[in-house]
Amino acid sequence: MRGVVKGKRWLMLTRWVHLTADKRQQLNSLFALNRKVMKAYLLKESLGRLWTYTYEGAMLSYLKELDVAASLAAIAGLREVGATVG
């Protein structure tokens, strides 16, 4: 399993739409090993929506929703981001 995980940092930081089919397959293999990694990746991808808001209230509402999602996924780092907003 170490071979599946090793060297995947940049893969995890790359947006899904920019990945080739081979890289998506590698990422899915990684997700199959660790569900928390998958949840963190999905939350990271959803942060891309943050830059599309033009109304501050909508952005703050989204960040509060992200806090709830992070708490359900038990991801402490994202919980800290939500705590600073709420």
Structure confidence by residue, pLDDT tens digits, 26-58: 999 989 988 888 888 888 888 877 778 788 888
CB contact at 8 A, 43 and 69: yes
Structure tokens given for 20: 């080739």
Which residue ranges make up each domain of the chain? 1-33, 35-86
Q: What is the pLDDT of residue 47?
A: 80
- Higher-confidence position of 82 and 14: 14
Per-residue pLDDT of 72-86, as tens digits, reads 666 666 555 555 555
Alpha helices, H only, 1-86: 2-5, 9-13, 21-33, 35-46, 56-73, 76-85
